[in-house]
A and B are shown apart, each in its own frame.
Chain A
Amino acid sequence: MSVLTDGHSVTEEARNRTFGPLYSRNAKAVIARGLMATKSSNWLVMLSGFFEPVLFLVSMGVGLGAIVGAVQGPDGAEISYAAYIAPALLAVSAMNGAVYDSTWNVFFKMNFAKLYQGMLYTSLGPLDVALGEIFLALLRGLLYATGFTAVMGLMGLITTPWALLMVPASVLIAFGFASLGMGITSFLKTFQQMDWINFIMLPMFLFSATFYPLSVYPQYIQWLIQAMPLWHGVELLRQISVGAFTPATAIHVGYYVLMTALGMLLTTVRLRKLFLK
């Protein structure tokens, strides 16, 4: 040990940390890297992610809404069709952004760019990397949600200040999907397997009471959809958008808190297995 106490090195500070081998309290370096990379190359991809739900809202909400007319909102009052689907589209956008960031993006960095291998040769632990990447996904989700909520406001679809809570709620939804998505991605090795993710996402987008209420389905289908995460996100944001809170609101929030916790646990276990083998 005497060797260690001799001679000053700038990295002494890092050595003195007394955390386990998984975490060195430096997720901010991973975040800084992500911001720098976004600045120099990825910002166009980010822009397209913002427009997608806006285009859906305009075409379905305004276009299809003209035929549909007014529909019953979560509190029983009538609202426009656009106001009905807008929170659902926000939930879908939070899901899509988080899933893209935590699956395809992570898959590429893990298997092709070997970015994580490089990071893990430094003082960073796998948990620093996971937290940093998830934070970036959430930051992106936050930007999208803020932008989309602003568009809703411009289109006159916001009628209560409660609706602003959709922004943090979207981040929670994104957190759930990002943490679980990253854990699942760690199991996948080929592009074919990655396609399974789309195979799950698309039906979830179409059938999670996004464009019409759950009551159109037979009971057992309803149960299936209620077990899936997106439905809870859609319902949560829809309730918030008109400020109609019920005990079910707490269940939706609880679902995502649990999903986030399990996702983080899975991701940490998997990273340990993958990188500290």
Chain B
Amino acid sequence: MHNKAIVSSNPLADHPAKQQAVIAAKDLRKTYGDVAAVDGISFSVPAGESFGLLGPNGAGKSTTMKMIGAVTQRTSGELSIMGLDPDSHGPEVRAHLGVVPQQDNLDEELKVRDNLLVYGRYFGLPMSYLRPKADELLEFAQLTDKAKSKVDALSGGMKRRLTIARSLINEPRILLLDEPTTGLDPQARHILWDRLFRLKEQGVTLILTTHYMDEAEQLCDRLIVVDKGRIMAEGSPAQLIREHSTREVLELRFGSERNGTIGAELQGIGERLELLPDRVLIYAHDGEAALEEVSSRGLRPLTSLVRRSSLEDVFLRLTGRSLVD
């Protein structure tokens, strides 16, 4: 039932201008007083791409999203959304966007289905279009049986899905998702990822911020790693891992007292060592081989784990800090 197109098939898909960027930012800056929240970033996103902004809290992701969403004006630099300047064409730009903010801001005074209808009216859309569209979106969000419920009777995951359904009411070309699954339990996250993946298949351009590695790896074709308002790296998840990390990682725990001092004894194993307060990371092409070498030096870690490199490791390498702190 859910494979019906929610957004009418992308009109750009077969067009020669396919590669034209729907979002183009150049030296984008936003300062609040002396603090630069976004400090000169440049990127462009072609139609239909799923593009991620990855970084810790306070990196400038949300501010960037607000500038793209035409609700915050930039301090300097260039920004174009669907060829329009969001600072001077706010309502026109927003007509092309669907926005899922970090915190749900559903209308608690209205029922579930009315939330969709009223939101559509904000775009100036007629009721004859909105009534069937609302039903279709409720089905997409698996909320059909909740149509007449009050919003505060919904679970966190349901509210999130309703917010996403609401953001699709105007058939947006670009969907902005700010931390879409933060605060949800694993099952609700997977349902949400599935819905977002369907939208991506239908050609919607997705822009999402996240500090979850698995989310970025699941959903993003390409991403930028942002820290302190600047871009640290750019590429596909696999490409970033290839360029900035090794294939595998060996994680060792020696207990909190020894983790800090063990470095000297592990020198030379793998390509790179990372000493963290709670564990030691050894970056190596072959994690098992590295573990054997650790054992052959007579070292006995309390726990050991060999895993694939992730974006978390990329971030650690680029910034010297971990993402979730």
Q: Name A residues whose Cβ lies closer than 8 Å to a Cβ of B.
A: 1-4, 6-11, 13-15, 17, 19, 21-24, 26, 29-30, 32-33, 36-37, 40-42, 113-115, 117-125, 275-277
Contact = CB atoms under 8 A, between A and B. Distances in A.
18 contacts: A3-B12, A8-B11, A9-B96, A11-B95, A11-B170, A15-B92, A15-B96, A21-B89, A21-B90, A33-B110, A115-B107, A118-B105, A121-B69, A121-B94, A123-B92, A123-B95, A123-B122, A123-B123
A81 B47 CA distance: 73
A3 B123 contact: no
B111 interface: yes
Interface stretch (B113-121, B228-236, B255-263): B113-121
B281 to A, nearest CB: 40
Interface string B260-272: 0000000000000
Contact of A10 (B70, B109, B118, B170): B170
Contacts of A7: 10-12
A29 B107 contact: no
Contacts of B123: 11, 14, 122-123
B91 A33 contact: no
Given A29-B118, A36-B114, A125 B91 contact: yes
Given A3-B12, A10-B170, A21-B89, A123 B124 contact: yes
B118 A1 contact: no
B103 A114 contact: yes
Interface in B1-44: 8, 10-12, 15, 17, 20, 22
A156 B88 CA distance: 57
A127 to B, nearest CB: 10
Interface size class of B (residues with CB under 8 A): 35 or more
Given A22-B90, A122-B123, A122-B170, 18 more contacts: A2-B17, A3-B20, A6-B17, A9-B8, A13-B124, A21-B90, A29-B118, A29-B122, A32-B121, A33-B107, A36-B114, A36-B118, A113-B108, A118-B119, A121-B71, A121-B94, A124-B122, A125-B90
B122 A122 contact: yes
Interface of B: 8, 10-12, 15, 17, 20, 22, 47, 69-73, 82-84, 87-92, 94-97, 99, 101, 103, 105-111, 114, 118-119, 121-125, 129, 170-171, 173
B152 to A, nearest CB: 11
B110 A123 contact: no
A275 B71 contact: yes
A115 B118 contact: no
Among B47, B83, B103, B105, max chain A CB count under 10 A is at B105
A42 B109 contact: yes
A17 B90 CA distance: 11
Contacts of B70: 21
Contacts of A33: 107, 110, 118, 121-122
Contacts of A19: 91
B91 A14 contact: yes
Contacts of B122: 26, 29-30, 33, 119, 122-124
Contact of A40 (B10, B15, B111): B111
